Structure 1
Amino acid sequence: MELQSAFYWADIQIKQFFQDLLNAFNSSLFTFAGEKFSLGLVAGLITQVIIVLVLANIVKRLLKERILPGFKLEIGTRESLSTITSYIITAIGFLIVLETAGINFSSLAVFAGAIGIGVGIGLQNLSSNFISGLTLLFEQPIKVGDYIEVDKLAGTVETIAIRSTTIRTVNGVFVIVPNSRFLDNNVVNWSYRDPKCRIEIPVRVAEESDSLTVLEALLTAARQEPRVLPSPSPEVYFKGIAEDALTFDLMVWIRDPIEMDAIKSALRFLIEAEFRDRAIDQNIATKLTIENLPSLAALLRSSPTNEFAVKAGDSEMAEMPIGGWMLRDLLRKVSYFQQCGEIELRQVIEKGYRKKLPIGETICREGDPGDSFYIILSGSVEVFIESIDKQVAVRRAGEFIGEMSLLMGTPRTATLRTLEETILFVVDHGNLQNLLKNNQGLADKIAEELSDRQEVLKSLGITIDTTTKEGTSFDQIRRRIQSIFGI
């Protein structure tokens, strides 16, 4: 009996404990928006809010990693769409949670209006960044993955959140930037629409330098850098003469703006090497004015160990040898360009390009269309006729090949192959077309010379018949050139 009585009282106490615990959970803690909140209701609301946040995050990850990539959208667009969707789900979820809690929205609106002014003043920066974040996500002036520059800070956009944006600089440092700064300041977006951009390398050389030699050196340096785009082609602007120096700007296009500084550095190294090979002086002389020249001259003459004594003719420095070939001199070896001035040659050099080939590489094959001719800058090339399986010639540095097929628009009569590692300067159809359009007299010179080379034309399969009404050989060749190049 005593044991049964003990179990009975224990059971009553346990039931009373749970009843008291249930009453504590259901007892009102506070009243908000016309609804009494108990501990149990608050715990339920917290649980529902956590579920909403987790669900929004799951949807965001699914959209960004699984669904949107199938639509071939850019990474920045995927990030924006998934983030906006996540915010919408979160907002709707909060409204549903509040509705299920029985909160009166009309009274909540009154409460929000009562404290709105105070909160707006106290959280002005936060609200500004919040609205700026929504603007960035919807308008997308910048996106995740873009390379941007704002307030002298440059880097790649990693994330765009509702309050701030994370930027990773080229040094690998992550910087948190408030969103309002992107709307209040000028932002340079190097990746906007087209990531290609043009960079500028300013160069100053001594006033005595030859401008065409400088032009050739700068273009050669630009064409050696693999990260410089071949199209649009590099350009050199002659800015003028200032402070006893010639000033130039080398303009090149690149594909990845984040490598801008590295490419500029590589180009400066290449420019310095080309200038050294061509003996181009970058040391700008400083003018020195001596007011009492007679006294200085007397002092120098009186010194028995005068290290500054100047002998007649010593002031004329011998011309320094230039390493490598000068393109303008090589072009003048082509008979058609012998009478060209420096302006015409500059046009050819600007639009041509260098091509480096390994040993055994085929440049063009017998029967291919003659769309370019080549100047050999280094190495050697064999001229091989496949139809008779015979090597007919070997061309070496300083020689040119393939000009007749280009001028006459005929197929190649031989195959060209490199016998060693070779660097060519290529003048293609478009390059020559621009030159002939701007210099009609050059087309006449070429036609005049070709009219005297009937045997060469016959080897190309071109027969000039002067007995017809088509005119002289000069007239026929000139019309053919005009037709080929559209001039």
Structure 2
Amino acid sequence: MEWLQQQGQRILDFFQDLYKAELFKLDDGNYFTLDLFLKLVFYAVIAYIVGRLIGRLISKTILNRFKIDRGTKEAISSVIGYLIAGIGFLIVLRGTGIDLSSLTVVAGVLGLGIGFGFQNVASNFISGITILFEQPLKVGDLVEVDDLKGIVEKISIRSTVVRTLDNIFVIVPNQKFIENNIINWSYRDQKCRVHVPVGVAYGTDTTLVTEALLAAARKHPHVLPQPSPKVWFKEFGDSSLNFELLVWVDDPPSIPQFKSDLNFSIEIELNSRDINIPFPQRDLHIKNIQDLIPLLQGAGNLTSKNSTSVDSDAIENTNSNLRTQSLRDLLSQISYFQSCTPRQIRELIEQGYRQILQPEQVICREGDPGNSFYVILSGSVEIYSEKLGKHIVNRHAGEFIGEMALLMGIPRSASIRTNEQTTLFVVDHTNLQKLLSHHPELADQISAELATRSESLASLGILPEKIDSEQGMFKWIRQRINTLFEI
């Protein structure tokens, strides 16, 4: 028993000696011991925790008062936390009596060891510092690296946490983001363009396809009006005419769901216009076709019984389609678009959209900003003054409305409402600029129409004094349109 106590005491003395062993001597005469090392590690952990807490506190109390995005706030709070932790550790070193200048040799030896033994750790550490300061990606950004695509949730010194679109968290070493090509969908500008491929059957009217795709795009609430949607005819495929719908969105993380919703809308628009999406086609060559003639004749007798009902349904569907005119046909009936080529009509459809309104529906009100130009495709509207409580004039199919406020850069001078079910072709300010650039004759017709309304323009106080003829009025209006729309 006594022998066991002696052995136990020896072991305890050994660890006590090891704990207080002088590992090496510092320049100031002090010795670096294991005891001092463990204390430094403990105080370093405390300094790190305090620094992180202060960084988060600053983020929640101070940075939230400013209009700073989430990623920038996270980067600022992280940098502040690491700075406070580093300063705290230096203060601890001074407090324990260690002369910082005496650590230069030790730091050099440790740095050399870390360089060889912990290359990846050091590389990730430096990469993390680079990411925090340069901010090529921030918390909340949608990024794509290699085969990984997701949202940045956290950026630390060693690694970055990315949440995939399937809500799976992936820890990625920071070195990956420095050495590889990174796609950052949210960098500087959230707005990005989405490509949606669509194939239709050969023989389909390409202008009708353009109208259908643009209609689907403009009905989707997440599609940005500017830049306006576009349709590209990509190629003549093996079994289809291949198009591509290009739209702009400002919420990159929602793009997968957005494309699904848009595909549903495209399918509805194509079906409403009887546009078919083809199956892959193959040619079948039959060597002994004579043997199949009796079988085909028998099948013909069976199908002839139902031919009458099928033909009647086809006729009814055809009549129904004839009653539903395409936007191309409606625009071609307008006098100043009748001379347009099919290509010009297709470009025209890209600049605006069709709007169907019910009777007594208000299109715009007196005093509203003039941000849209309308062409009446069918039906009629009433222009009236709400302030004066009187009717001004009716406009019918083939005429344009809302042009005075938009083209003169003034608020609406009157209100407009429909007299019956009315179809309008609506063009906003930006697209009207393109429209007038491509169709200068339309600007001439609008100027000529406005020149006949000198009393209305005079009542608004925007006419110069030295205009004494309708021709002078026309030139002044035409020049004002050129100036406002930079054409």
For residues 399-478 of structure 1, the aligned pairs below 5 Å read 402=401, 415-417=415-417, 424-428=424-428, 430-440=430-440, 446=445
For residues 250-265 of structure 1, the aligned pairs below 5 Å read 250-265=245-260
Question: Which structure: larger Rg?
Answer: 1
Q: Is the 8 A contact 2:351 2:435 kept in 1?
A: no
The whole-number CA distance in structure 2 between the counterparts of 1:369 and 1:46 is: 67
Q: Is the 8 A contact 1:348 1:427 kept in 2?
A: no
Q: Counterpart of 2:237?
A: 242
Q: Counterpart of 2:363?
A: 363
Q: Is the 8 A contact 1:168 1:175 kept in 2?
A: yes
The whole-number CA distance in structure 1 between the counterparts of 2:370 and 2:94 is: 79
**1:415 Cα deviation (Å)?**
2.8
Q: Counterpart of 1:165?
A: 160
Q: Is the 8 A contact 2:144 2:184 kept in 1?
A: yes
The whole-number CA distance in structure 2 between the counterparts of 1:405 and 1:297 is: 73
**1:137 Cα deviation (Å)?**
1.0
The whole-number CA distance in structure 1 between the counterparts of 2:235 and 2:32 is: 80
Change (3 A) 1:99 1:238: same
User: For residue 341 of structure 1, what is the amino acid of its counterpart?
Assistant: T
Percent of aligned pairs sharing the same letter = 42
Q: Counterpart of 2:8?
A: none
The whole-number CA distance in structure 2 between the counterparts of 1:80 and 1:447 is: 55
User: For residue 363 of structure 2, what is the amino acid of its counterpart?
Assistant: I
Q: Is the 8 A contact 2:138 2:152 kept in 1?
A: yes
- Which range moves more in the overlay, 273-282 or 147-156? 147-156
The whole-number CA distance in structure 1 between the counterparts of 2:232 and 2:104 is: 65
Change (3 A) 1:461 1:243: same
User: Aligned pair 1:55/2:42, yes or no?
Assistant: no
**1:30 Cα deviation (Å)?**
1.7
The whole-number CA distance in structure 2 between the counterparts of 1:188 and 1:214 is: 32
The whole-number CA distance in structure 2 between the counterparts of 1:367 and 1:96 is: 67
3-state SS of the aligned residue for 1:305? helix
Change (3 A) 1:425 1:104: same
User: Aligned pair 1:201/2:200, yes or no?
Assistant: no
For residues 51-130 of structure 1, the aligned pairs below 5 Å read 51-103=46-98, 108-114=103-109, 116-130=111-125
**1:206 Cα deviation (Å)?**
1.3
The whole-number CA distance in structure 2 between the counterparts of 1:412 and 1:277 is: 36
Change (3 A) 1:271 1:123: same
User: Aligned pair 1:299/2:295, yes or no?
Assistant: no
**1:440 Cα deviation (Å)?**
4.2
User: For residue 362 of structure 1, what is the amino acid of its counterpart?
Assistant: V
User: For residue 176 of structure 1, what is the amino acid of its counterpart?
Assistant: I
Change (3 A) 1:79 1:435: closer
CA RMSD of aligned residues (A): 4.5
**1:288 Cα deviation (Å)?**
0.9
3-state SS of the aligned residue for 2:194? strand
Q: Deviations over 1:147-168 (max 9, x none)?
A: 1111121221111111110112
**1:276 Cα deviation (Å)?**
0.4
Q: Is the 8 A contact 2:348 2:435 kept in 1?
A: yes
1:147 maps to which of 122, 125, 142: 142
Q: Is the 8 A contact 2:405 2:413 kept in 1?
A: no
User: Aligned pair 1:336/2:336, yes or no?
Assistant: yes
The whole-number CA distance in structure 1 between the counterparts of 2:429 and 2:17 is: 89
**1:237 Cα deviation (Å)?**
1.4
User: Aligned pair 1:282/2:277, yes or no?
Assistant: yes
User: For residue 144 of structure 2, what is the amino acid of its counterpart?
Assistant: E
User: For residue 478 of structure 2, what is the amino acid of its counterpart?
Assistant: Q
Q: Deviations over 1:6-33 (max 9, x none)?
A: xxxxxxxxxxxxxxxxxx9999722134
Gaps of at least 5 residues in structure 2 are 1-14, 305-309, 459-466
The whole-number CA distance in structure 2 between the counterparts of 1:27 and 1:114 is: 22
User: For residue 485 of structure 1, what is the amino acid of its counterpart?
Assistant: I
TM-score (norm 1): 0.75
User: Aligned pair 1:485/2:481, yes or no?
Assistant: yes
**1:343 Cα deviation (Å)?**
2.3
Q: Is the 8 A contact 2:375 2:401 kept in 1?
A: no
3-state SS of the aligned residue for 1:306? helix
Change (3 A) 1:33 1:404: closer
**1:307 Cα deviation (Å)?**
3.5
Q: Is the 8 A contact 2:48 2:82 kept in 1?
A: no
The whole-number CA distance in structure 2 between the counterparts of 1:83 and 1:289 is: 68
Q: Counterpart of 2:464?
A: none
2:22 maps to which of 25, 31, 34: 31
TM-score (norm 2): 0.75
Change (3 A) 1:418 1:65: farther
3-state SS of the aligned residue for 1:228? coil
**1:142 Cα deviation (Å)?**
0.7
**1:179 Cα deviation (Å)?**
0.7
User: Aligned pair 1:190/2:185, yes or no?
Assistant: yes
The whole-number CA distance in structure 1 between the counterparts of 2:371 and 2:60 is: 47
Change (3 A) 1:378 1:274: farther
**1:379 Cα deviation (Å)?**
9.8
Q: Counterpart of 1:327?
A: 327
Change (3 A) 1:26 1:358: farther
Q: Is the 8 A contact 1:348 1:431 kept in 2?
A: no
Q: Is the 8 A contact 1:205 1:284 kept in 2?
A: no
Q: Deviations over 1:198-241 (max 9, x none)?
A: 11111111120111111111111100001111111111112232
User: For residue 23 of structure 2, what is the amino acid of its counterpart?
Assistant: F
**1:54 Cα deviation (Å)?**
3.7
3-state SS of the aligned residue for 1:270? helix
**1:131 Cα deviation (Å)?**
1.3
User: For residue 169 of structure 2, what is the amino acid of its counterpart?
Assistant: F
**1:270 Cα deviation (Å)?**
0.8
Change (3 A) 1:423 1:266: farther
